Amino acid sequence: MQTPDITVNFTRMEDGTEEEYKLLDVLEKDFCNAAVDRVLEHLRCLENSFGGYKISRLDHSLQTATRAWRDGADEETVVVALLHDIGDLLSPENHGEIAAAILKPFVSSKNHWILKYHGVFQGYYYFHHLGGDRHSRDQFKDHEHYQACVDFCANWDQASFDPEYDTKTLAFFESMVRNIFSREPFGVHTR
């Protein structure tokens, strides 16, 4: 196993010194600042994932964001639309929870909720074809963000599988993603 040039001496956290933890803090900040690059790279991995659709999962994500942008959504919501399916490659069954966890420090509680539950709301369009309950989203009907999630899916997510749609490129959205990830994390305290 290769070790980096700069390391601490301890092998158990309880043995670390103040000086070592200050070093780790600097290195951790650098690592956290590079998260946006890792997220964008993971999004690019969706390019070769079709799953039977006419467009790739990356194109679906770009198309969803393009529709949100064209509808005048704020930058945060456009980025949420872009990254809503980023968890698909790792865990399709709970991909929304993965996207929500990644973006939680940087987005509003409304957008976090939409990310987390959009899969259930998207099911309105197809669950009944597979023997499921298309109205399963109604378990959330009294939630303050219910209608926002209905609208997210109706206007952008479910409509974004069109190979003829004039979709913006990832380069178009990259600065928006960087802006959102450069925010001071909301309510995240690791120390």
Per the CB < 8 A criterion, the answer to whether 85 and 46 are in contact is yes
| pLDDT (mean) for 70-89 | 97
Residue 121 is predicted with a pLDDT of: 97
Q: Minimal CA–CA distance to 96: which of 122, 72, 71, 134?
A: 122
Query: How would residue 44 be classed by pLDDT, with cut points 50, 70 and 90?
Result: very high
Q: Token pair of 30, please?
A: 């650098």
Give the start-to-end residue ranges of the domains of the chain. 35-181
For 139-174, letters b (16+ CB in 10 Å) and e give ebeeeebbebbbebbebbbbebeeeeeebbebeebe
Evaluate if residue 43 carries a pLDDT over 50. Answer: yes
Q: Is the CATH number 3.90.226.10 carried by domain 35-181?
A: no
**Burial class for 45, CB neighbours closer than 10 Å (0-12, 13-18, 19+):** middle
Evaluate if residue 180 carries a pLDDT over 50. Answer: yes
Percent of the chain's residues with pLDDT above 90: 82
**Burial class for 100, CB neighbours closer than 10 Å (0-12, 13-18, 19+):** buried
